[in-house]
Structures are given as C-alpha cells and as structure tokens.
Amino acid sequence: MTGVETALLNVGRAVVTPLFTRWLSGRRQTRERTLPLADLLQQTAKDEFTRRRGERQIEAVVDEVAERLGPLVTTRFAALPPHEAVAALDAVADTFRRADLTDDALFATDLDPVRLAAHLRRSAPPAGLSELGQRLYDVALDDCSRCFTQFVVRTAPFGHRAAVETLSRLTELTRTMSEALRHLAVGGPVPADFLRSYADVLTAKLNVLELVGVETQFRPRTTLSVAYISLAVTGDRPTGKPHWEPALLRHSRPDNTGAERVEQALAKRRRTLIRGEAGAGKSTLLRWLAVTAARGGFTGPLTDWNGRVPFLIKLRSWPSALPAPEQFLTGVADPIAGTMPPGWAHRQLAEGRALLLIDGVDELPADRRPRVRTWLRDLLDTYPPSIVVVTSRPPAAHDSRVAVGRLDGFDSLTLERLSPADVRALIGQWHRAARDSPSLPCPPAELPRYERSLLTRLAANRHLYRLAGNPLLAAMLCALNLDREAHLPPDRMGVYQAAVDMLLHRRDTERGVPSALPDMTARERLQLLQDLAWRLSLNNRSELSRTEAEAYLARRLAAMPRVHAEPGPVLDHLIERSGVLREPAGGRVDFVHRTFGEYLAAHEAAEQNMGGMLAGQAHLDTWREIIVMAAGHGNAPMRTELIEGLLRRADTEPRYRRALILLATACLETMPALEPPSLIGEILGRLDTLLPPRRESEARSLAMIGEPILSRLPRCLDGLTESQAAAVIDTVTLVNSPAALSMLAGYAADPRPKVQTLLIDAWRAFDPAEYATRVLAEAPLDDGSVTITEPTLLGATRHLRHLRTLRARFDRPVDVADLAPAPALTDLFLVGRGHRNLHLLDRYPGLRELHLWNGDAVTRRDVEGLAGLRTFAVSDGAALHPDAVAAVAGLTGLRSLHVRLGPEPADVSALTTMPALEELGLEGAPIADFGPPSALGHLELGHGTLTADDPARLAEAFPRLRVLTLSGAEWTDIAFAGDLPQVEYLVLRDPTSPALQTLRPPPRLRMLWLSMDDAVDLTPVVRLSQLTEIGIWLPTGRTIDLSPFLDWHGGPLEIAFSKRNRITGRKGLPPAVRIRLP
C-alpha cells in the first residue's frame, strides 16, 4: 500500500468514525460516547462474529470514501509530489478528528456542507502546506463535508435502539451510506460537483499530446502536463533575436534560455494576445493552460491562477455565430454539457473566476474575423474580471479589422522560436514519450542512439536546424529520423514530402499493415487529400463538416476510374490511416496541423497549373505559405505564370507592393528553376527598391526570404543612417547562417554605439567562440563595454581585445570561474542569483570598478585580492559580511564605496576614515558607530541605517559633507538635514509628500534632486527659496505638475526633468523659473 493510499484511508476513517460512534453510543454517558469505535463495537456486539462483521461493514464505507477521493489525487493533483499529497490528506483527516461534530455544532451549520466546511476550517486550520497542497486540502475537505452531511441526513431515521438491535441494523445503515455516496457521484450536480466533473472531463480530453509522425492509429501519446515545454516570448515589438544555431544547440543548458518565458509574461497580464507562426505552439499552450487550471496545478509565476475555471474556445469550430457562455463547453466537455447548472458559466465570468482561452483568430475566414473583436469586447464589457488569452498567427493579429490586441487592456506577446535548450528538451521528451509506444520501429533501448544522431545532424545542417526551431517541425524531424534510421532530407519541402510519404504509405507498407482499401494507391490517397486541402483553402476555412468532406470526395472519386469505393469509407480510411487528416469532434474534419493542409493545397494548385489564380490571392495572408510551396511543386510554365502575376500586381497595386515583392522573393527559396532567367533579375530589382530596411518590422519580413536576401544587403554600413544600419544587422542576424556571420564580421568596425550594441546582442545567436573571434575580436564595442545575458558567452570574452567594461546579467548564479582572462578589463558588473568564486577576481589586476547585485554575502576572502579597486558596490540582496568590513577598509585606493550591511548594528568607523574615500553609501543595518569626524564629502544612507539619536550625530561625524542622499520612502522625518551646515546638494529617492513637508534645508543647500516612481506634491519645495536648481526624475510617461512654482519668490531657479515626462502647470511661471531638458 502506498503512502497516498494509506492517507486516503485515514481520511475515510476520520469522516466515517464520528457517524458510527454517535450511532453506536446513542444516549450513553459522555465517557462512553468518547470511547474508540472498536471499544464501542466490543461492548455492543453479542459475540465476536458479530463484532468482526460490523468492523468489515464499517471499513467498507471507509473504503468507499477513500476510493471517491483517489481520482482527485491522480488527475487534478497529479503534479503534486506524493509526500505533499499525503500531508494535505493527513491535514483533512486531522481537521475532522479535532473538530467539534456534536449535535449542537452540526445544527449550527444547518447541515449545509459549505457552512460545515467553513466550521471545520475555523476549528482546525492546516499549517505548512504548499500552495498546491493547500488547494488539495480545500477540495478534499469540501468533498468530505458533502459526504458527512449526506451521511447525517440519510442516517437520521436510524435512531438509537436497544443494544441487541443495533448491530442487526448495521447492514442497512452502511447500505444507506453507500447509496448517499453514489448519489453524490451521479446525481444532479450542485455547482461544486459540476466543477469537479468538468475539470475531470476537460483534463481527460485535453491532457493528451499526440506525437506527429509515428503510426497513425497507434500514434504515441503522452500527457500534455508532462510533455509540455515552456516557450519564450517577446513583447509587442519582438526582439527578432533567434536562439537556434548549431553551436548553441550543442552547448545549451536548461537554464540558458535568455528570453522571458510565456508563464512569466502571462502572470503580469490579464488580457493577452499570443501571436505565433504555424506550429509555434499556440494551441498547445492554451490546452496546457486549460489542463493546469482545471487541476489547480499552477506553480511559480502563475500560482495565482489556481482556482480559475478554464474555458477553451476553438474559433474554427464556430465559423458562423460565435458562442454564448452557455455554449463554452462545446467541443471540450460535450458529455456533461447538458448537465451544466443553469447560468453556471455566466456565474464563473461574473465572479471573476473564468479563464478564457480563445484559440485561432487566424483560422476564421478573413471576412468573419471582425466579429471576434465585437464578440470579445461585448463579453469583456459584461464580465470585465475575466482573464483572457487569445491566439493568432501574426498576419491575422495585425489585421486592422480585427485588432484584438488594440482592445482595452490587451497586451501582445509573440512566441519565439525554440531556443537551443528548448530544442534539446523537446527532442529528449519526444524520445522519452515514444519509449512507451507499442509500435516503435526499433527496440526502446536504441532510442538514445537515435536522439544523439538527430542532435548531431541538427548541429551540422543549418537547414534542418532552422526547421527545428518550430515545435511542430521539430517533432516531425524526430519522427522522420526514427522512421528513416537517421537519414533526413535537407530542406523544408523535402521534410514535408518525406512526412507525407511516411504517413500515407511507407509505414503501413513496410510493416505489412492490411489496408481497408487495398486497391487505392498512395498516389490516389494523396490526390484525395490534396483536393480536400484545396477546398478548404478556396473557402477560407480550416475545417469541413463530414457531409461536405464526403461530397467533395464523391466529386473527386468520380474522376478516378481505378477506385470503386464510396466516399464514406474512403473518408474513414483517410482519417484512420493517413496521419494528416483527423476528426477532432463528431461530424467535423480537419488536418492534424494547418501546415499539412497548406502543403497539400500547394501540391494541388501546382498540378492544376493555378499560377494565375494563386497570384490573385497573394495579398491574403492565409495564402502565403501555399504560394511559396506551390512555387516549389509547380512545373516551369506554372512558376513563370505565378511570378509574372506577382510582379504585375506589385507594379499596379501600391497597397500590396511590398508584400508581393517579398512573396515573389520568398518563392526563390523553393523553386528549382525559373524561366526566363530574366525574371530572377526582375524580382531582385524590385527587391532592391525595398532596401536597405529602415526598421525592425521590415527586417523581420525580409529575413523570411532566407539566405537569398544576404546578397542584396550592403557589405558595409557606411552611408546608412543608424536606424538603417540597425535594421540591416537585424535582418542578417535573423537569417542566421555562415554567410550571415561573414557579413556581420564586415560590420564590426562601425563605431556607432547602436551598431555595436546590436552586434553584441547578435552574439547569442551564433557559436560563442566563433562569433567572438570573427566579429567582436577587434570591434570597438560600445566604448569598450559589453552586456551579456547568456552564461555560455562568459568564456568567449577572452577574444574581445578591446573589452574594458563587462556587465553580466543572469537569472542564475554568476560563477567567476567561468569568466575568461581579459587583460584590458577594468570595470565589472555582476547581477545574478548569487556569486561564486569571487576570490578569483584577483586574476584581474587592472580591475578598478566592481558592482555586485543579488548575490550572497561578500566575505573577507572575496575582497582581499582587489587592491586596485577604485569603486566598489554591494547591494540589492548582496551584502557585506561583517568579517569583510576590515578587508574593505584595507582597500586604500577606494574612492567610492556603496555597501549593504548585515542585519546586526555595524561599526563603520573603519570605512568612514578611509584616506582616499570620497563617496560612501550605506544600507541594510543600523550604524552602531560612525567613528571619529570624517573628511567624507558625499554620503548616501538607506532607511534603517540611523537610529533615533543618530541624526544629531551626523553633523559631528561628517563636518565636511557636501552631498547627502537619502534613499527609500520610509524616511518620514528629514528635518535633521537642516543641522548639516556644509551640505549643498540633497538627493531624495522616493520621497513622500509628508516627508518633504518636514524638510529643514541646510543653510548652504542650493541643489535638490528628487528621484521618484510616482509624482508627489511639490508645494513643500516652493518654500526652499535658496535653491538654484531642482532636478526631477520620474519613469517614462509620468506627469510633473509645476503649478506650485507659480508662487516661487526666490532667486533664479532652474528645473531639470527628462524629455520622457509630460509637464503641466508651466503657463504663468515667474521669469526667475527656467525649464531645462537634459
């Protein structure tokens, strides 16, 4: 018996025992009613056989309660570790045992299960559970409360009888209790019961991930919650910095992902539009969100989403009228949709519990997409608290008629391609999931060899690796690699062809699987699938009704003399055996993925010589991929007709000119040849009119052309504006090939800061050492400065000959041992979740400036070898260990020191008297002793560093203090500043209006600088008439109200602020007040 099973039985006993104890004890004395159940049975039974039979009957009810809770643990809370599940269940049992369940207490709850559950929680609240464990505790306790109240109600007629009758009625009593449990399980659902049923059905429906490509009927399946891979996202303006290059794949680590993960981004938003290309993982993401919400299994950033009720709405299933809330269960929980309590979905929305997951704006026809915007706006106007996630391919997301992202409160995110670590994770999980398949083409023990072989191929072949950046195609490569024994085609068209060939023909033929239609060849099956795909494209749809599909097949079959089958069986065969067609719900047919449909539609268009027709559809985003692949499928006349049509439209339709030229250029990647050759020149000539790109969006569209675009871009950035140069670098980086690396090397000598910054950002897209030696080795960098966010780049910094300043910002511990020798390094900034081997910094004798953030305590050993330092800062989570204070004081060359002290009061006298120190910042602990009078001229104090008596001692301790900085909104009384006679410059970080009112200005104060996250009332500042300059710093977009200075009566005053802020109250300012922009 497992620990969870034991815990479940303990819960069953805790729920059942009070009922039987009350019933068996009847009206006996209190002492007897509190006897253990076994003792009561012993006293009541007339003989041992009766007692044993009673025990078995009671244990049967215990088992039923335990078995009722079992599926809850194994489905909705499967992500909870067993020991945490046991702790939560033990807490439920303990709550029942310790609670007051006397008649009076039960009557006080009116035998209402909700009120009983609240009573139980008050009487014995649990402690020490994780958030997910607490959720299991709450759900299980609610369920047990329903069971208990039903037991009480159902067993009320079984009043106390004489002892001789009691056990004779036990069988009838336990049967009644069993019936009560069955009633709870299958009776008309109350909302809580229905929610649990809905969560179970949704999880069973969606928590399955089908791995494309291996067997059709017995395709390996795994649980989505296990196989799910977190994806990277960028904001409304994608960075466009790819993470998929062979060397980075070889050296990637699970914690080396760089970009923000989608879970982190979603946690910050309530309304989100997720954009992503075909196969990017949009639908899989929504299914994972739905399953995890249903199970209450969110951890990390999305923990607050636990308790949300997910509604997954596939827009392709609603081509006409969009669903009302009472229809939200359609297609996801059809078996129980009819039992949904009236108004239940509306209540989830109204009470802010709903998680709306709306999939596939792009899968609706273009003329129907505007309805989504209206439907969604009306829904959210009615139910504003809901969390909403919408997905779409980028072109449809940008459609101005839809513009979901422009609705109030919506933010846009773009799913990035898989990072190297993501590719490795997906490939590894695919092979682990395939291990359990009964239809593997090799022994399971050989799967690691196939996995290693595939990774090696991806690292050596850029075409294949670029494909692997897409989750769908990465899974397809896994399947093809397994099926073809590590012999993969080199390009996209070849991969699609190989996948279709494998799914339609090779697997069944090579394994001898009998066909339901043995007379139908693979070519004929392909013809039928092409026709269905073409019909979908012509009608701008992503799925057909079964009736429509059979009708289309009937027309096509009539033209196929060798096939003598009815359309119904043919359709069944294609769904069951083709591997690319499916029936996601009764009566609806679509392709496993839209990419397959586009590939097959392109094949049909090429066979039908539809070049002119395709050119006429080229302005529609839903036709782009079909056109590019049709150019690869088509014969010479068809390709010529297509390209001539695209160019003709580009010349006569200015609205679509750019898109059509880029589409014609993209066709060059798939076409084997183009006649006449002069057409190639015409394409490239028109492409040149779009070059050089001017902005990031143009760079992304040009990069979609692939490597052919490189030959049209400048080899040198001379003569380009900074924006143009930046867009060229973005384009080349996105193409990401050996030729692209060579071009970036040619740009490295350009000294402009933005150019150098972009070249440094591109570093992570290539092999670290190769890029460093070929591109950055002699580059001037950004005035010798480099910022990196990838740990794998640390070692390659040895090649940067002009590196003077290094900023390393990681979401993991920073290990100085990974930092390569850098002879010219003078300034180092380390930000990470801890610092390791800081003592190795003594390898850099030229180091003059060191900043440590978010690290561990800095010890004496870490500091002793840094004699050359001039600036040293330890803050934001990092702290100076008490034993390091003396070591820091020994750095006699220090001019600037900012340290966070430990929690205990600190003696800083050794620091305030350092001979060369000009600036000292202290935070984190009270100052026990400032030491003798100091010559220090600049002091910064965080809140908590001064005790009640210290302000009066500041003037004694720092008689020459000219600059004082006070940091933190906790400073509520800053009157002591008036006692500092030499202070001329006062900096207040995050001051409050009440604090400003207490300010007594030092007699020599001339400059005041206010740095704030939010604007404050500046009226108290106006009285400081001796000021000559005021600086105000607020975040971008915040408003500064200068109207208080209408009453300025002092001398000339200059007010400085950022261009990024809005200013009000300027009109009518006195002539003495002058506004200055930095």
DSSP states of 555-606 as a string? HHHHT-TT----HHHHHHHHHHHSSSEEEEETTEEEESSHHHHHHHHHHHHH
Report residue 1065 CA to chain centroid gap.
Answer: 42
- Determine, yes or no, domain membership for 244: no
Domain span at residue 1050 reads: 1006-1078
**Structure tokens given for 775:** 């591109």
DSSP helix/strand/coil, 803: coil
Query: Of 354, 386, 415, which residue constitutes the final position of a domain?
Result: 415
Q: Are residues 520 and 587 in the same domain?
A: yes
The torsion angles phi and psi of 921, rounded to 5 degrees, stand at: -120, 135
Q: Are residues 207 and 356 in the same domain?
A: yes
CB 925 within 8 A of CB 901: yes
Distance CA 858, CA 883 (A): 9
Domain count, the chain: 4
Query: Of 608, 624, 639, which residue constitutes the final position of a domain?
Result: 608
Q: Are residues 88 and 34 in the same domain?
A: yes
**Structure tokens given for 629:** 């692949």
Per-residue pLDDT at 394 = 62
CA dihedral 190, 191, 193, 195 (to 10 degrees): 160
DSSP helix/strand/coil, 209: strand
Q: Which of 89, 104, 87, 99 is nearest to 124 (CA)?
A: 99
Kindly give the residue spans of alpha helices, DSSP state H, lying in 689-784.
696-703, 722-735, 738-747, 753-761, 768-771
**Structure tokens given for 1043:** 């109207």
CB 370 within 8 A of CB 402: yes
Per-residue pLDDT at 756 = 95
Per-residue pLDDT at 609 = 93
Distance CA 167, CA 47 (A): 11
- Determine, yes or no, domain membership for 909: no
- Determine, yes or no, domain membership for 334: yes
At 328, which CATH number? 3.40.50.300
Q: Which of 136, 173, 132, 182 is nearest to 155 (CA)?
A: 173
Distance CA 527, CA 1038 (A): 62
DSSP helix/strand/coil, 862: helix
The torsion angles phi and psi of 837, rounded to 5 degrees, stand at: 55, 40
- Determine, yes or no, domain membership for 474: no
| C-alpha dihedral sign at 307, 311, 312, 315 | negative
Q: Are residues 209 and 298 in the same domain?
A: yes
Kindly give the residue spans of alpha helices, DSSP state H, lying in 130-276.
131-155, 163-166, 170-186, 191-206, 224-227, 246-251, 262-267
- Determine, yes or no, domain membership for 761: no
Distance CA 623, CA 643 (A): 15
- Determine, yes or no, domain membership for 617: no
Q: Are residues 7 and 148 in the same domain?
A: yes
Is 1050 buried (19+), middle (13-18) or exposed (0-12) by CB count in 10 A?
A: middle
The residue ranges of the chain whose pLDDT is under 50 are 27-35, 37, 157-168, 183, 185-189, 212-218, 237-248, 250-251, 255-258, 395-397, 399-401, 507, 511-514
Name residues whose C-beta falls within 8 Å of residue 139's C-beta, 6 or more positions apart in sequence.
72, 76, 77, 196, 296
Per-residue pLDDT at 676 = 92
**Structure tokens given for 917:** 């120190």
Residue with tokens 């007629």, as numbered in its chain: 157
CA distances from 1027 to 105, 795, 1068 (A): 71, 51, 20
Per-residue pLDDT at 316 = 76
Residue with tokens 């997720």, as numbered in its chain: 274
Distance CA 704, CA 668 (A): 12
Q: Are residues 157 and 277 in the same domain?
A: no
Q: Are residues 161 and 45 in the same domain?
A: yes
Q: Which of 996, 955, 999 is nearest to 975 (CA)?
A: 999
Q: Which of 591, 572, 573 is nearest to 582 (CA)?
A: 591
Q: Are residues 167 and 297 in the same domain?
A: no
Half-sphere exposure of 910 (CA within 13 A, CB side): 13
Q: Are residues 158 and 208 in the same domain?
A: no
Q: Are residues 144 and 220 in the same domain?
A: no
Is 172 buried (19+), middle (13-18) or exposed (0-12) by CB count in 10 A?
A: exposed
Name residues whose C-beta falls within 8 Å of residue 510's C-beta, 6 or more positions apart in sequence.
none
Q: Which of 838, 868, 835 is nearest to 853 (CA)?
A: 835
CA distances from 410 to 158, 271, 294, 785 (A): 60, 5, 24, 37
Distance CA 763, CA 678 (A): 38
Distance CA 54, CA 877 (A): 63
CB 373 within 8 A of CB 256: no
Report residue 483 CA to chain centroid gap.
Answer: 33
Is 337 buried (19+), middle (13-18) or exposed (0-12) by CB count in 10 A?
A: middle
Type of residue found at 216: T
Query: Of 608, 632, 664, which residue constitutes the final position of a domain?
Result: 608
Kindly give the residue spans of alpha helices, DSSP state H, lying in 156-169.
163-166
At 604, which CATH number? 1.10.10
- Determine, yes or no, domain membership for 30: yes
| C-alpha dihedral sign at 705, 711, 712, 714 | positive
Query: Strands 232-234, 410-415: parallel, antiparallel or unpaired by DSSP?
Result: antiparallel
- Determine, yes or no, domain membership for 624: no
Per-residue pLDDT at 527 = 93
Half-sphere exposure of 99 (CA within 13 A, CB side): 29
Q: Are residues 91 and 179 in the same domain?
A: yes
Q: Are residues 219 and 180 in the same domain?
A: no
Length of the chain counted residue by residue: 1078
